[in-house]
Amino acid sequence: MSFSFLKDLNYDIYDPTNFIKNIVFKSLEANAISESKVASNGEDDILGAVEADIIFGLAGSDNIETGEGDDYINGNQGDDFIDGGNGNDTVLGGKENDQIAGGDGEDELYGNLGNDIITGNTGNDWINGNPGDDLIHGGDGEDQLYGGQGDESIKGGNKDDLIFGNLGADIIEGNEGDDLLLGNQQNDTISGNSGSDLIYGGKASDLLDGNEGNDLVWGDQGDDTLDGGEGNDILNGGQGNDILVGAEGADILTGGEGNDRFVLVAGFGPDIINDFTIGEDMIVLDGGLILEQLTLTAVNGSTQLLINGQILATLNNLDPNLLTFSSFTTSVF
């Protein structure tokens, strides 16, 4: 999918393919240097033994590869290439821009300083990018991925992952599995992709897309945009002036505090809107939907919006007589 910020889009029909970007994980490439037997302050090519190794790269841009065993590797200074191989490894990239692969096993990987590329490969890995704008991929396994202080791109793998963006403006993809995805601070872009995910935007104005599965999406603070995607989703905008799009499936939408917009599209739904407030919130008619196509009906103290006899949305605890033309718009923003 292509990615651009929603404020830059110009379209009439809400299109979630414009909402999120797929993170492309770069292939790791070793440094072009000659083989060394011991570490020095130059550029070393160090190959570990079969058993557990303890390796310090010192200065220079090093290639460090280990085999079997639970290894401890510190790249130290330089743009290092580190492959932990098999075993449960602990790897510290050190300073500069490092490339780190955990290999097989349950690894603990730290980017430390610099803009690092880190992949856990197989196993249940723990990865922390630390400072810098890092590219992190969990790979196979149930991974815990932490972004650190920079603007990170973080992608989960095939299992149920925990991803925490932390302090920067992060791009997060859960990928497959039922993931827990937390943006925390700054303006984050988060997509659950496959699986039934729990997505939390945190502070600032976030773009949150549940994508496939029955997702729980919470914007928290800031002016957030929440898209449930496919499945029966629960969306809660939290604080701020939020945009909520249930999209496909029977979704439950709660705007929370602020002046919120609930996007309805013909053929989607039926959705439930829990807290529509007259004079504050608005119903957005999208996808060519116009007000004249709707029928408003009072049912058990709530309002049903119908199109061709089919329920498009139910506005809980709201008298239909309170709705006016100013309660509706065709503008998403």
pLDDT in tens, 109-165: 999 889 999 999 999 999 999 888 999 999 999 999 999 899 999 999 899 999 999
What is the DSSP secondary structure assignment for residue 242, as one 8-state letter?
A: -
Q: According to the model, what pLDDT value does residue 58 have?
A: 79
pLDDT class of 331 with cuts at 50, 70, 90 = confident
In a domain, 239, yes or no: yes
What is the DSSP secondary structure assignment for residue 172, as one 8-state letter?
A: E
d(CA 64, CA 75): 8
pLDDT class of 104 with cuts at 50, 70, 90 = very high
Residue holding tokens 């919120």? 260
The first and second tokens of residue 205, run together, are: 């104005």
Non-local (6+) Cβ contacts of 265 within 8 A are 13, 14, 247, 286, 287, 289
Task: Count the domains in the chain.
Answer: 1
Q: Which long-range contacts (CB under 8 A, 24 or more apart) does 173-177 make?
A: 173/20, 173/22, 173/23, 174/199, 175/138, 177/142
Phi/psi-derived region of residue 59, left when phi > 0, alpha when psi is between -120 and 50, beta in every other case: beta
d(CA 276, CA 160): 34
Q: According to the model, what pLDDT value does residue 257 have?
A: 96
pLDDT class of 280 with cuts at 50, 70, 90 = very high
In a domain, 272, yes or no: no
In a domain, 210, yes or no: yes
User: In the predicted model, is pLDDT for residue 31 greater than 60?
Assistant: no
Q: According to the model, what pLDDT value does residue 16 have?
A: 46
More confident residue, 174 or 10: 174
pLDDT in tens, 189-241: 999 999 999 999 999 999 999 999 999 999 999 999 999 999 999 999 999 99
The first and second tokens of residue 28, run together, are: 């790791």
Q: According to the model, what pLDDT value does residue 59 have?
A: 81
- Domain of 144 in residue numbering reads as 6-265
Q: Which of 4-13, 32-41, 69-78, 296-305 has the highest mean pLDDT?
A: 296-305
d(CA 230, CA 248): 5
In a domain, 53, yes or no: yes
| Bridge partners (DSSP) listed for residue 72 | 54, 90
User: In the predicted model, is pLDDT for residue 1 greater than 70?
Assistant: no
In a domain, 194, yes or no: yes
Do β-strands 310-315 and 302-307 pair in parallel, antiparallel, or remain unpaired? antiparallel
User: In the predicted model, is pLDDT for residue 329 greater than 80?
Assistant: yes
Torsion of CA 253, 258, 259, 260, to 10 degrees: -20
Give the residue-averaged pLDDT of 298-315. Answer: 95
Average pLDDT taken over every residue of the chain: 87
Q: According to the model, what pLDDT value does residue 37 have?
A: 43
Q: According to the model, what pLDDT value does residue 125 have?
A: 95
Residue 293 CB-density burial (10 A; 0-12 exposed, 13-18 middle, 19+ buried): middle
In a domain, 213, yes or no: yes
Instruction: Return the closest-CA partner of residue 328 out of 283, 274, 266, 281.
Output: 283
Give the residue-averaged pLDDT of 174-181. Answer: 94
Q: Which long-range contacts (CB under 8 A, 24 or more apart) does 190-197 make?
A: 190/165, 191/19, 191/20, 192/217, 192/229, 195/160, 196/231
In a domain, 281, yes or no: no
In a domain, 143, yes or no: yes
Give the residue-averaged pLDDT of 245-254. Answer: 94
pTM: 0.86
**Residue 143: CATH number of its domain:** 2.160.20
